[in-house]
Structure 1
């Protein structure tokens, strides 16, 4: 398979993995263990497991769940599902048990790859029919399912304002296009090695680093999780030339005491920031201290990650902007779908080969997400005369904590499980560490003895520590509109004044 920078990749992930195996070379190194995985080894392992799954009767397009952190076994499981023509269903390990159970049930996963550390969570959350993949000794001769670029490849769940996660379906074509947009924007080549510190069950880790390396023919240094104290040491051991992170990680690295060695500084061409807005002060301080340029970008789960990026040339950076479109088209439009004039705020919309097929088993949500061929991001922004987009707000009420989308209603529903909670509304509070943090306000029934700590503990149990509110405010009344709907967007001002 050959990469043409003017057109998106053709074929399937299977085709591209076969081509990389024939070319040879290293696919992934693991700085924490010293292990390596060549393209040939990755292809052979993926093909072997794919044949095994086929022999087990897993049909083309069936969901295959992957509950693994970053690592050798997890990335092989991912590629095995893709290689076999199944729908790789990446389970967010940071989600609470309710969300994991919903994803496993809703996806109708036929089999699951489960890391030993996730076994207890899996056993608690799994539907009765779902079992862990175990290699078989079957000697039956089977052929892999035939594959086309339009076939389903990836299923990844993302929070929405409804509170229920939506299952985003990508085809082989859109998944590969996600890696292609990154390759084109950042001029990735076979000599590049990305630093995969973000989990591959998030679209950034999945498409930017994993698919980016597959399409570009480069390689990855993959670690199990981000560590501020080991970031530069792992970058040195892995011999990385670029990295993709979120603003929270940039802030953590900036405030850590360690500096990269001169050889690391000279080897790393750039770092990229995505998932939420990067503070201008943080970007400037990072670049001044470490001498490594940060490229600000924008992407979504529904667009196989990147839709916008600042050019690689620092002279063309516009700090504060998410950049220009690469590999797809972006526009600003009003509520009627009419393109907005230059520098006039509207909704950011995108169309291109990297846009999702749709939301699994949710045709209404899929229809509402598009204005004709344009995907509606739900983000507000403006575009300048040079095509640079500036994000100005969000139509949706999502809370973005450390680059992770959190639906306020999911927190509301957890709070409503307490018998004394009469009204509940979660909201975003500005936070220097995570960009935004979760807080909530409730109205309790008269005479209740429930405390804020009780309610935080309830949320922690239901949705996990990361999504649980940092604090819960107990109020006599929550702000409401004329129809009686709780107005969560007024809570920040009501509780903290204008800030």
Structure 2
């Protein structure tokens, strides 16, 4: 490898080898110089030929140069930087690593594991203002001297682990000859030259990503390594103008999902071809890739033991056969039966290979080697056949390895982790079909007698022992695990036996019933999921991964949540509970822990008057306000006022006191008017009272926006309230007792009034009936009326705010139970806030207001006005909802949706109408 780097530096000294955004490109001459500096430093540290250096770096230019430097003087052992602590313990020990390369300042289980095993830790940091890939390295020196001299072809260059059907992953040692042979075969197959530019999207701890990078460099071309995300992919596609890239089918599908929003970038792209490997590429995905990028897709077949490539479809104009992984490309490929005989074309058997790129055997595993090699041929464990033109077709796998989007997972490894859980008696990991990954991991467990454990707890336990991609997306807790006729577990039949097979467009058979969103934050999350998963409807208890989610979509989803809700969720949050309900709970928990003020500046805006909005979302957190503010325009300053009590402080008992408290907050920001106010539901009513009080303070209010304002007390109820207040005071009743009496009387009066209205309407109908039908109708009416009156009066005897006849309300129970965590404390606080707001509204009476008001009503919500039955929007005669009794300058808009969807799914329409109202009054300060 060292001689190859030196030759490239002489042949293409000023050509770009490594590029990266925001960095100067690294030429081949500077690459060789930097590698020489690093290898000298490693030798000085005590690392040399035959020593093993683990590299736990994320994709980037430094990872490329670090790998090359280690390959040129020692043996590289690239590791997944997201591995769990137990995995680092195993890999570092098993590989007999002498040093570990990590990013500078990285706090990782890898560091703790290395320290515990006495392994030197080398910290890598990019050199400021230097070329892409140039890094400084610091770390302790080793006592043992380094073995000098450059490596030769037979020396081990790379060691990787590969998963099999055994519980212990096997070590694959690859020599310099293996790597260079494979890289040259890839270069030849793809016709790579010094004019090619490769975007490296595959991880560099995977043989696929590593060999794609080496083949591009050995051709004298340039590489641009990125941490794959669709947005970054298209940014690199535009800036770097790559001529090719290679990826797994999962990535290709993610790219296609994002392609529609990057048509201009695609039109400018210079892709010569697109390559796919490491998992079967669906024919429809291949066709779509070729249509979108107007470039041929080259599907190849590779594995770690062959230093990646064994077969590949050729470039046009040669034939690329649908469903085939192509012709032998580096290795000799044959088909073998169970007795070791090579089979003729057309016959199906095990795919076997041999050649310079194929390794010589697993390290320290004679038993595995005896099974893996027959007559000099390596048995891949895959099943297939060669056609008459030597094109290879793969028909299946002989092994039980789960192929999750190119990541190979040993189910036995999952079994052992599950069985180490104290409550698990039996366990089996098995594959389930996945729409984008091909396969995903599921598990079935039987619990020990007398023990209990829930699915989230078991998944969290597994997540602490394995990398995230290995964590089962479903864990079924069973009384008995189904077995085959001989009593053996049949992994690949379990999904069907347990009813986990999914058809396109149908809900997964997980047994989880559909439950719609209740809170606005849940509605927002559902909207995000439905857009990313391209499936609807999604319920709050549905599992992200059961509906087609994968790790790439999870990254997009978490990024979108951060954009929409302004809160960052860690990937582990999704592992702990991949449901809308869980994510909504965590978002609210984070907001509750961080909130320091009821007044939050969402959008600084420009010269317009600030819009102060009472989000009124007791349990949804008001996250919808981020989208509302964004749609109002970047030039509109936007402040959010959270409900009193959401910060844990005392809650004012009246609407008037709440309004006064909010006025104090907004005047600290904006001492003088004109003011623009608004609010959702209860918040709208408080905003109305704020406007009245500001007018009394001789402050101008340009507009009050009321989104779905609640029902209100009729003016004549004021006389009843005054009577109750006066009489109650004489009798020694406290304020709450007087209010309770008012609510009870109001309930009875409204019940009787609605009954009167109902009977009156029915009597008008019966008057038009023939005389013979009137008697039967009267009897049916009497029975229904009696049942209705009884149910209403029984309901009325309960606490006005307590629908639970058996005791305290859920909110009060939360208060009494001393909640053990912040989320329950938050629910208790929100429950009390809702309770106080309801009672405050019950004693609030609207008074005339001389300013301008806009009412925005969600037409799917029922309309409840005092003294009238509950109506649908199209049944309402007075669309002003009787607000014209107190407001003369009034605009009323009916918008599609209910409370949650109006401010989530339909927030763009709401914002457009609100903006139009604001524009009528807004003027630069």
When the two structures are superposed, what TM-score results if normalisation uses the length of structure 1?
Answer: 0.91
Judged with a 3 Å threshold, the aligned counterparts in structure 2 of structure 1 residues 143 and 160 are, in CA distance, closer, same or farther, namely closer
Query: Which residue number corresponds to residue 286 of structure 2?
Result: 283
Q: Does 1:300 align with 2:303?
A: yes
- Residue 399 and residue 95 in structure 1: after superposition, are their counterparts in 2 closer, same or farther (change >3 A)? farther
Q: Kindly indicate whether the alpha-carbon contact (under 8 Å) linking 1:30 and 1:71 is maintained by their aligned counterparts in 2.
A: no
Task: Quote the residue 1:112 is aligned against.
Answer: 100
Structure 1 residue 345 displacement after superposition:
1.3
Name 1:52's counterpart in structure 2.
Answer: 41
2:111 is equivalent to residue 123 of structure 1 = yes
Q: Give the whole-Å Cα distance in 1 for the aligned partners of 2:304 and 2:71.
A: 18
Q: Which residue of 1 is the match for residue 164 of structure 2?
A: 160
Asked if 1 retains the 8 angstrom alpha-carbon contact of 2:385 and 2:392, the reply is yes
Larger deviation: 294-303 or 123-132?
Answer: 123-132
Q: Measure how far apart 1:291 and its partner are.
A: 1.4
Q: Does structure 1 residue 173 correspond to structure 2 residue 161?
A: no
Alpha-carbon deviation of 1:26?
3.5
Give the whole-Å Cα distance in 1 for the aligned partners of 2:86 and 2:167: 12
Contact 1:399 1:428 in 2 (8 A): yes
CA contact (8 A) 1:401 1:434 kept: yes
Q: Contact 1:229/1:258 (CA < 8 Å) preserved in 2? A: no
**Cα offset for 1:445?**
1.8
Mapped contact 1:51–1:143 kept (Cα < 8 A): no
Alignment partner, residue 155 of structure 2: 151
Partners of 2:286 and 2:183 lie apart in 1 by 24
Larger deviation: 50-59 or 239-248? 50-59
Residue 230 (1) aligns with residue 218 (2): no
Which shifted more, 404-413 or 86-95?
A: 86-95
Q: 2:384 aligns with which of 377, 381, 384?
A: 381
In the alignment, the residues of structure 1 paired with residue 102 and residue 287 of structure 2 have an alpha-carbon distance, to the nearest angstrom, of 41
- Counterparts in 2 of 1:42 and 1:29: CA distance versus 1, 3 Å: closer
Which secondary structure does the structure 1 equivalent of 2:25 belong to? Answer: strand
What is the aligned partner in structure 1 of residue 10 from structure 2?
22
Q: Report the counterpart of residue 478 of structure 2 in structure 1.
A: 475
Question: Structure 1's 237 and 34: CA in aligned 2 closer, same or farther, altered over 3 A?
Answer: farther
Q: Note the C-alpha offset of 1:131.
A: 1.4
> Per the alignment, in what secondary structure is the counterpart of residue 50 of structure 1?
helix
Q: Deviations over 1:380-439 (max 9, x none)?
A: 111111111111111111111121011111111111111221111111111112111111
Q: Which deviates more, 233-242 or 355-364?
A: 355-364
Q: Distance in 2 between matches of 1:182 and 1:386?
A: 21
**Residues 170 and 304 in structure 1, CA contact (< 8 A), matched pair in contact too:** yes
Structure 1 residue 493: Cα displacement:
1.7
How many angstroms apart in 2 are the aligned matches of 1:215 and 1:355? 19
1:38-49 equivalent positions in 2, closer than 5 A: 38-49=27-38
Q: How far 1:189 moved relative to its partner?
A: 0.9
Query: What do residues 132-152 of structure 1 show as CA deviations (whole Å, max 9, x unaligned)?
Result: 1236899xx999414221111
Report 1:349-364 matches (<5 A).
349-364=352-367
Distance 1:453 1:261 in 2: 43
2:85 is matched with 97
Q: Distance in 1 between matches of 2:501 and 2:54?
A: 45
Decide whether the 8 Å contact of 1:175 with 1:304 is kept in 2: yes
Alignment deviations for residues 62-104 of structure 1 (CA, whole Å, 9 cap, x no partner): 11111111223222221111111x1111112243332222111
Q: Following the alignment from structure 1 to structure 2, what is the Cα–Cα distance between the partners of residues 180 and 432?
A: 34
For residues 324 and 255 of structure 2, the distance between their equivalents in structure 1, rounded to whole angstroms, comes to: 22
CA contact (8 A) 2:161 2:170 kept: yes
Distance 1:46 1:488 in 2: 47
Shift of 1:451: 1.3
d(CA) in 2 for partners of 1:61, 1:71:
26
Task: Report whether the alignment pairs 1:87 with 2:75.
Answer: yes
Instruction: Say which of 70, 74, 90 aligns to 2:63.
Output: 74
More strand by share: 1
Residue 209 (structure 2) aligns with: 205
> How far does residue 294 in structure 1 lie from its aligned partner after superposition?
1.2
Distance 1:486 1:356, change over 3 A: same
**Equivalent in the alignment of 2:832:** none
**Alpha-carbon offset, residue 360 of structure 1:** 2.3
Distance across 2 between alignment mates of 1:349 and 1:80: 33
* 1:252 corresponds to which of 245, 254, 257: 254
CA RMSD of aligned residues (A): 2.2
Residues 1:40 and 1:431: Cα distance change in structure 2 (over 3 Å): same
* CA offsets 1:6-61 (integer angstroms, 9 cap, x no match): xxxxxxx0000001111213344444334322112221121122122223332421
**1:483: Cα distance to partner?**
6.2
The Cα of 1:467 is off from its aligned counterpart by 1.0
User: Residue 64 in 1 paired to residue 53 in 2?
Assistant: yes
- Secondary structure of the equivalent of 1:188? coil
The correspondence of residues 387-426 of structure 1 with structure 2, limited to 5 A, is 387-426=390-429
3-state DSSP class of the match of 2:347? coil
Answer yes or no: is the 8 Å Cα contact 1:171–1:357 preserved in 2. no
Look up the SS of the partner of 2:53 in the other structure.
strand
Q: What is the CA deviation profile of residues 312-341 of structure 1, one whole-angstrom value per residue up to 9, with x for unaligned ones?
A: 116511121111111221111111221122
Instruction: Give the Cα separation in 1 of the matches to 2:263 and 2:108.
Output: 38
Residue 497 of structure 1, CA deviation: 7.1
* 8 Å Cα contact 1:265-1:291 kept in structure 2: no
**1:298/1:322 contact within 8 Å kept:** yes
2:345 to 324, 342, 345: 342
Distance 1:438 1:142, change over 3 A: closer
Whole-Å separation in 1 of the counterparts to 2:156 and 2:88: 21
Q: Where does the alignment leave 5 or more consecutive residues of structure 1 unmatched? A: 1-12
Q: Which of 366, 370, 388 pairs up with 1:367? A: 370
Using a 3 Å threshold, how does the CA distance of structure 1 residues 442 and 340 change in structure 2: closer, same or farther?
same
- The offset of 1:230, in angstroms, is 2.7
Specify which structure has the higher proportion of helix.
2
> Quick one: distance in 2 between partners of 1:258 and 1:165?
42
User: What SS is found at the alignment partner of 2:427?
Assistant: strand
Quick one: distance in 2 between partners of 1:238 and 1:266? 9
User: 8 Å contact 1:259–1:290 — kept in the other structure?
Assistant: no
Looking at structure 2, the residues matched to 182 and 41 of structure 1 have their Cα atoms a distance apart, in angstroms, of 25
Matched, 1:311 2:299: no
Higher relative contact order (CA 8 A, sep 6+): 1
Question: Are residues 1:183 and 2:171 paired?
Answer: no
Where 1:490 maps in the other structure, the secondary structure is helix
- The aligned residue for residue 3 of structure 1 is none
- Distance (whole Å) between structure 2 residues aligned to residue 413 and residue 485 of structure 1: 17
Closer, same or farther: CA 461–136 of 1 in aligned 2, 3 Å: closer
Asked whether 1:37 is paired with 2:26, we answer: yes
Distance 1:396 1:258 in 2: 40
Aligned to 2:806: none
